[in-house]
């Protein structure tokens, strides 16, 4: 099935693949896919598809090593550009980092404050429990008070008598 020109193409792609072994797997596959596609279409468009024409296609693509070298420089450029997306995060962490160390210190404080609040509520409830009956106590004593003015009245009456 494999013709001589197919073998020529396979050998060329194998050379690219070997040179591209230093590239990350994703980039290598992408590059090989692009070149495979280029060859396939250029062959489909070539008039006769002879071996000479295929050789021309491969010659124009160029030396596998220099193609991979170009891929190397292209992987370097995006490495330079990513820093902008990377710089925003460092700006946000600083606010987070000062905030996070106090947190462990604040936790016991919050627990203490919580306990104090619970304690205060209990004290208030107990206080109310004591004061409410004593409030109902004074109420009668207020009712008892009128006799007192009466007593004073009688006391004031007494001198007049």
Partner 1 sequence: MEVSEDAALTTALRRGTIEYCVLALLDKRELYGVELVQQLSTGLGMTTSEGTMYPLLSRLRRNGRIATTWREAPAGPPRRYYTLTPDGEAALTHFRTEWVAFRSGVDRILGTEIR
DSSP 20: G
Residue 62 to residue 56: CA distance in whole angstroms: 10
Residue 137 to residue 141: CA distance in whole angstroms: 6
Question: With respect to partner 1, which residue has the nearer C-beta, 55 or 107?
Answer: 55
DSSP 111: H
Question: With respect to partner 1, which residue has the nearer C-beta, 59 or 158?
Answer: 59
Question: With respect to partner 1, which residue has the nearer C-beta, 54 or 71?
Answer: 71
Least Å distance between CB 25 and partner 1? 14
Instruction: Give Dmax over CA atoms of the chain in angstroms.
Output: 149
Angle formed by the axes of helices 25-45 and 4-19, nearest 10° = 150
The DSSP H or E segment spanning 8 is helix 4-19
Question: With respect to partner 1, which residue has the nearer C-beta, 30 or 53?
Answer: 30
Least Å distance between CB 38 and partner 1? 5
Least Å distance between CB 109 and partner 1? 48
Name the residue among 66, 60, 72 with its Cα closest to residue 28. 72
Least Å distance between CB 49 and partner 1? 11
Question: With respect to partner 1, which residue has the nearer C-beta, 45 or 135?
Answer: 45
Q: Which spans of this chain sit near partner 1 (rule: CB under 8 A)?
A: 16, 27, 30-31, 34-35, 37-38, 40-42, 44-45, 59-64, 66-67, 69-71, 73-75, 77-78, 81
Residue 147 to residue 161: CA distance in whole angstroms: 20
Least Å distance between CB 104 and partner 1? 42
């Amino acid at each position: 099935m494999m013709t001589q020109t197919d073998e020529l193409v396979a050998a060329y792609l194998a050379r690219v693949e070997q040179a591209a072994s230093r590239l990350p797997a994703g980039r290598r596959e992408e590059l090989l896919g692009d070149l495979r596609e280029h060859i396939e279409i250029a062959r489909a468009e070539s008039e006769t598809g002879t071996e000479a024409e295929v050789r021309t296609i491969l010659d124009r693509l160029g030396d596998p090593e220099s193609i991979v070298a170009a891929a190397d420089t292209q992987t370097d450029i995006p490495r330079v550009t990513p820093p902008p997306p990377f710089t925003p995060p460092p700006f946000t962490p600083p606010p987070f980092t000062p905030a996070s160390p106090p947190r462990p210190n604040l936790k016991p404080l919050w627990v203490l404050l919580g306990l104090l609040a619970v304690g205060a509520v209990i004290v208030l409830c107990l206080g109310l429990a004591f004061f409410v009956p004593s409030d109902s106590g004074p109420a009668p004593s207020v009712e008892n008070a009128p006799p007192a003015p009466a007593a004073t009245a009688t006391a004031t009456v007494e001198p007049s008598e």
